[in-house]
Structure 1
């Protein structure tokens, strides 16, 4: 099969300037709700891009756990590669690939660490096995074999079988303060609709521009 021959037409509808709210958050909420209603797999999954000290970009999939006008929230091990990148360069990019409804959302911003209270509150709400997994995995470190990870998980599961899982101080989260949000809606003949919301210097208003596909 020739990869250059793989294509399809986008026919689900367009996006017009008069459809846009003054802030990107209500439109993101609407699109996320529609992605959930369409039963897309992992609608809250987003690509998180960071850059290391040499300028090398890295991407990985992380689940969005909360969002509002103050930013987009995700959680991670603070010893992970992404956390080490953010310690040196807090600029970050998020991408939601909702192919099933012919939409994408791309976000740029700055990641700020969540407070210990916010992280503890979320950690306590996680399923117990997920809490234990946070202790078992030293994220991004090298493993000799999968059995080592599974063995550590079972060891900790027995240890915490009759009690609560303590909060690990090496586990945390980030709130991405938005700089820009781009909405992409697939269109016929590759004439896609793209609108870019950019935060103004005042910090409470948004400039909106249509971009060429």
Structure 2
């Protein structure tokens, strides 16, 4: 598989007119290739002092506005985004020698979008969102299990609402780079970049 995509490369003439369409094409390729969790992405943030952190999260939607994930706003990434609202996403599709790298501003999605997504989650995941104070230190596993048990009892006879501290984050792209591995490390890197005056331009970067 790696050789197939490396030989094909990525030509400017084959690139879609806009990044969402190009992303849709490559995401469809990743799904068709049978990659495990093709929507897994590395999300990088930094605190107010510029100290970075990363974690793997799941893409839950995208359109021309940006790419969306959901989290506990009190988590490390939630706190960092609140202090420094910029981030980067990386889709590491190694088997295809492809990467997509997104950099941009991070904003919260509106509450209606959060509640609609939360309602689609399995009940266990809904309860977990209430039980886990994400990124906080726990004394032991038993404390987490007990918190989950208490939440399950609390919502035993009713629907689980979205917690007020939980919701969506949207990375609003300033750049979206499509990276295709090639032989001799002469990789193809084509980047959509948002212009200050509006609109986008496409640039080829040296590998």
TM-score (norm 2): 0.94
Instruction: Specify every segment of 5 or more residues in structure 1 that has no aligned partner in the other structure, as ranges.
Output: 1-8
Counterpart selection for 2:17 from 11, 14, 22: 22
* Residues in 1 aligned to 2:122 and 2:104: alpha-carbon distance in whole angstroms: 30
SS at match of 2:92: strand
- Give the alignment partner of residue 163 of structure 1, picking from 153, 158, 162: 158
Q: Deviations over 1:79-106 (max 9, x none)?
A: 1111111111111111100001110000
- Please list every run of at least 4 consecutive aligned residues from structure 1 whose deviation after the TM superposition is greater than 6 angstroms: none
> For 2:130, which of 131, 135, 139 is the aligned residue?
135
The 3-state SS of whatever aligns with 1:135 is helix
What's the counterpart of residue 51 of structure 1?
46
Aligned with 2:26 (options 25, 31, 35): 31
Distance 2:120 2:111 in 1: 14
Counterpart for residue 170 of structure 2: 175
TM-score by length of 1: 0.91
* 3-state SS in 2 of match to 1:110: strand
1:114-157 per-position Cα deviation (integer Å, ceiling 9, x unaligned): 11111111111111000000001001100111121122212322
Q: SS at the partner of 1:21?
A: coil
* Aligned-residue offset at 1:162: 2.6
Give unpaired runs (5+ residues) of structure 2: none
Q: Secondary structure of the equivalent of 1:62?
A: strand
Residue deviations 1:4-43 (CA, integer Å, cap 9, x gap) = xxxxx85523001101122111110010011111111111
What is the DSSP-based 3-state SS (H/G/I as helix, E as strand, rest coil) of the residue aligned with 2:70? strand
The residue correspondences of 1:113-132 to structure 2 (distance < 5 A) are 113-132=108-127
| Aligned-pair CA distance for 1:163 | 1.8
User: C-alpha displacement at 1:65, in angstroms?
Assistant: 0.5
**What is the number of equivalent residue pairs in this alignment?**
204
Residue of structure 2 in register with 1:212 after alignment: 206
